[in-house]
Structure 1
Amino acid sequence: MGVYDFMLYEQERKKWLKRAEDPLLAPAERAVFIAMVELIIAQKNLASARWDEQIYLREGRKT
């Protein structure tokens, strides 16, 4: 996972947060948009953990 991937996650997160700030949204719609932001953050964290695991496993094989 590179810097570009993290930038894409950040762009998506900002897009959904901006939608959630719309004053014309019903509370349920706002909750959905905020849930999407949380999902994007969780996906980013999972991808980062997988990347860290690959590095850890690769380093373990070298020793």
Structure 2
Amino acid sequence: MDKEIEPCPFCGSVDLDRDKWRKYIECKSCGCYGPDAIWPGTATSAWNTRALIAQEQEG
């Protein structure tokens, strides 16, 4: 089962999509994407880690 994708760390949108090889996630609202995952299927974990880092930096 796939993990739930966190909202975009830049614009907060939940309009997100995985690339067809499942190596990165793209925000359809602001266009940001990545980070590139090393293995297919690990893009969600990579995206969610980035989202958490952005939340911590906000305060």
Q: TM-score range by the shorter chain?
A: 0.3 to 0.5
Larger Rg: 1
Relative contact order, CA 8 A, sep 6+: which one is greater? 1
Q: TM-score, normalised by structure 2?
A: 0.41
Larger helix percent: 1
Q: TM-score, normalised by structure 1?
A: 0.39
